[in-house]
């Protein structure tokens, strides 16, 4: 049977880590890179059978993600974030497809997102396709300062079982991550040379697309709260960018 490494980086993810690492405990190898955490993340990680590394935190997320991949020694590598969980059904599908991958060098999968007490099915939050599983050496993170992305050398197949995502553990965690994403989005405006009009309209077009065009309203109150949260995040990034100009 082929071997599988699960690679993870984390920064101040103590609240999420036990669930995430426990869901990957079946892997032949667990690569864990702590990125300058100041909470109990490092101690929590050492409760599991991990190959532990410590690195400075970087806003260019691809740097530490690629480092984690480079430490893997298995036939296949799975990228797992600290706020995600591999379900037993997805684990079985991963093992089945890596045992008989055919010509595929990598596999994508849907991701289910848990917001405000509900698994969302609309508003662009599902299937939220993620490319996470690949033959070691067949994929690398592109050196992009925002929105890290894997480049694969070979055809990509698709798994059916979803990866589970819990974006926010509590209100404090939500505020922290919204501030981070707001900064990242503002940087993307700078890099893409977006016009002031585009930036000012973006929060409204984002809400209209997610809540109406992508049927976010079908997710009830959770769908509305999620669309409003995204609106707030994009508006914050727009104001951050415009104030610097």
The string of pLDDT tens digits covering residues 175-195 is: 777 777 777 776 666 666 677
- Judge whether 185 and 133 are in contact, CB under 8 Å: no
Instruction: Give the chain's mean pLDDT.
Output: 92
Residue scoring higher pLDDT (167 or 238): 167
Q: Which pLDDT score is estimated for 4?
A: 98
Q: Which pLDDT score is estimated for 183?
A: 72
State both tokens at 129. Answer: 């396709």
Length of the chain: 245
**pLDDT tens-digit series, residues 64-112:** 999 999 999 999 999 999 999 999 999 999 999 999 999 999 999 999 9
Average of per-residue pLDDT across 40-51: 95
Give the span between the Cα atoms of 157 and 132, in whole angstroms.
Answer: 11
To which residue do tokens 């296949």 refer? 76
Q: Which pLDDT score is estimated for 161?
A: 98
State both tokens at 184. Answer: 């990242």
Domains and CATH numbers, the chain: 4-165 (3.90.550.10), 171-243 (no CATH)
Q: Which pLDDT score is estimated for 148?
A: 83
- In the predicted structure, residue 45 carries a pLDDT above the cut 70: yes
Average of per-residue pLDDT across 190-201: 76
Q: Indicate the burial class of 117 (C-beta count within 10 angstroms; 0-12, 13-18, 19 or more).
A: exposed
- Judge whether 112 and 124 are in contact, CB under 8 Å: no
**pLDDT tens-digit series, residues 107-152:** 999 999 999 999 999 999 999 999 999 999 999 999 876 678 999 9
Give the span between the Cα atoms of 204 and 89, in whole angstroms.
Answer: 38
């Amino acid at each position: 049977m082929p071997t599988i490494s699960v690679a993870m980086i984390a920064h101040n993810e103590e609240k999420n880590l036990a669930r995430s690492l426990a869901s990957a405990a079946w892997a032949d190898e667990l690569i864990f890179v702590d990125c300058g955490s100041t909470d109990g993340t490092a101690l929590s990680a050492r409760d599991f059978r991990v190959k532990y590394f410590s690195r400075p935190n970087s806003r260019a997320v691809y740097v530490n993600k690629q480092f984690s991949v480079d430490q893997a020694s298995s036939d296949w590598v799975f990228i797992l974030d600290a706020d995600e969980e591999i379900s037993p059904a997805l684990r079985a599908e991963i093992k089945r497809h890596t045992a008989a991958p055919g010509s595929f060098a990598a596999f994508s999968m849907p991701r289910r997102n848990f917001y405000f007490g509900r698994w969302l099915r609309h508003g662009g939050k599902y299937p939220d396709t993620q490319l996470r599983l690949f033959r070691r050496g067949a994929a690398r993170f592109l050196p992009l300062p925002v929105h890290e992305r894997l480049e694969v050398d070979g055809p990509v197949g698709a798994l059916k079982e979803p990866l589970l995502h819990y974006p926010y553990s509590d209100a404090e965690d939500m505020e922290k991550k919204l501030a981070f994403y707001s900064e990242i989005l503002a940087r993307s405006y700078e890099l893409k040379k977006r016009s002031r009009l585009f930036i000012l309209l973006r929060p409204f077009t984002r809400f209209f697309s997610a809540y109406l065009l992508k049927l976010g309203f079908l997710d009830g109150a959770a769908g509305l709260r999620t669309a409003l949260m995204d609106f707030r995040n994009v508006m914050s990034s727009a104001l951050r960018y415009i104030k610097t100009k």
